[in-house]
Amino acid sequence: MSSTENLSRKSIGSARNPESHEAILEAAEDVFCEAGYAGFSIEAVARRARAGKPTIYRWWPSKAHLLLDVYTRLKASRMPEPDTGTLEGDIRTFLTALARFWIGNTGNTGGVYKSLIAEAQADARAAEALQAYSKERTEHTANMFDRAKARGEMRADADSLAASDLLSAYAWKLLLTDRLENSADAIDKVTTILVRGLLK
Q: Where are the domains of the chain?
A: 3-59, 70-198
Give the type of residue at 148.
A
CATH class of 3-59: mainly alpha
Q: Mapping DSSP to helix (H, G, I), strand (E, B) and coil, where does residue 196 land? A: helix
Q: Answer for the pair 112, 32: CB distance below 8 angstroms, yes or no.
A: yes
Q: Answer for the pair 129, 62: CB distance below 8 angstroms, yes or no.
A: yes
Q: Answer for the pair 189, 170: CB distance below 8 angstroms, yes or no.
A: no
The CATH code belonging to domain 70-198 is 1.10.357.10
**pTM (predicted TM-score):** 0.82
Give the type of residue at 13.
G
CA distance 120 to 95: 24
Q: Mapping DSSP to helix (H, G, I), strand (E, B) and coil, where does residue 173 land? A: helix
Element spanning 177, H or E: none
pLDDT per residue as tens, the chain (200 positions) = 333 334 333 433 455 677 889 999 999 999 988 888 888 999 999 999 999 999 999 999 999 999 999 888 888 888 888 999 999 999 999 999 999 999 986 667 898 899 889 889 999 999 999 999 999 999 999 999 999 999 999 988 999 999 999 999 999 999 999 999 999 999 999 999 999 988 86
